[in-house]
Amino acid sequence: MQELSLKTTLPALASGWQAFFHAPCDARICAAIRIGYALLVLIHLAVLYPNLDLWFTDAGVLPLDAAEQVGNPYVPSLLWHLPNTPTVTHIAFFAFVSHAVLLLVGFLPRANAIGVFVWLLSFQARNLMIHDSQDTALRLLGFLLIFLPLGQSWSVNAWLARWWRKAPTSEDKATPYAAPGWGLRLFQIQMVLIFLSTGLVKLGGDVWVHGTALYYVSRLDDVFGRFPVPAWAFDTPWVVALLTWAVIAVELLVPLLIWFRETRRLCLVGLLLFHLANEWTMNVFLFHWIMLIGWISFLRPDDFRWLRGRTHQRLPAPSPSAPG
């Protein structure tokens, strides 16, 4: 059996680590994440606005003093330090909206990504009682968004850069969409950790291991049953067991298989179906859309060419026109 050598193994590991974290990525993928995330933040804010005073002012259900007592002392919030009046709260809210809009169009995107994250954290810390896993996912991805190359494609910043230079440089022509890839790697790792952790937690629950969890989930009227589903799917024990174990399998296998060239596309298709199925059956607002935005980080431009090629293969060839 051949022995390993430190002289060859350590440089190989360092080279692999360098290639994994610092290989260039396609800036268009980062731009797609930026646009999708900003749209979801704006939808989230549109839903919050009608009850803004109820959730975030002293006239509502949680006065500032009570919010500080039940909140996490390690989570900072600008709203702890601003005057606690409805007017100031509304000004802060529309500052939040402004940052999200500017992030959407890609004007000073990193600065506005920081602004979105700071305001998101501030409003979440002001009233933790109305937040759930969706808000946690939105916050995690919002933090990692700061480190992506956000303005190189599909942005006002990119348009202004092209206008300022007038003519592209030779480097721009050679690699027009190449950008530093380490921020996208962090995004990918976070998505994998979210999925892996939920799968491992399920393994610790008897109802998941025994295959009955989705039976109970389907009886939660306030969460389940958003759109019609076949009644037999959640009333037949063996079907419920298969669906329950399939959820665990997806959450444990995807974090491993999505890194490999041969299985990445299969994982992405499975994830799309998984999240859309959950969106169809459950009332969890934006959670699964946030996750889908996160999984965009694993896409590559050749995936769209591959999909377009597969679509063209399935379309029937046009019939020759009849002679006149």
Domain of 94 in residue numbering reads as 26-163+175-180
Which residue stretches of the chain are H helix? 6-22, 27-48, 52-56, 64-70, 86-105, 109-126, 133-145, 156-165, 170-174, 182-203, 206-209, 213-217, 237-257, 261-281, 287-295, 301-314
d(CA 20, CA 185) in angstroms, rounded, equals 8
> Distance between terminal CA atoms of the chain?
76
Range 103-125 average pLDDT: 95
19 in a domain, yes or no? no
Total tally of structural domains belonging to the chain: 2
**Are 52 and 137 in a shared domain?**
yes
Among 197, 199, 154, 216, which Cα is nearest to 179's?
Answer: 154
Residues 138 and 245 in one domain: no
pLDDT band of residue 321 (cuts 50, 70, 90) is very low
Same-domain pairing of 140 and 208: no
> Is 316 contained in some domain?
no
Q: Please report whether residue 169 resides in a domain.
A: no
Are 118 and 237 part of one and the same domain? no
Question: What would the pLDDT profile of 257-301 be if each residue is shown by its tens digit?
Answer: 999 999 999 999 999 999 999 999 988 889 999 999 999 999 988
Does residue 318 register a pLDDT over 60?
Answer: no
The answer to whether residue 312 is domain-embedded is no
pTM: 0.88
pLDDT digits (tens, 9 = 90+) for 17-30: 888 888 888 999 99
Length of the chain (residues): 324
Cβ neighbours for 143, distance < 8 A, ≥ 6 positions apart: 117
The answer on 246 and 128 residing in a single domain is no
Unique residue bearing structure tokens 């699964």: 288
The pLDDT of residue 223 is: 83
Q: What's the pLDDT at 174?
A: 53
15: in domain: no
**What pLDDT score does 324 carry?**
34
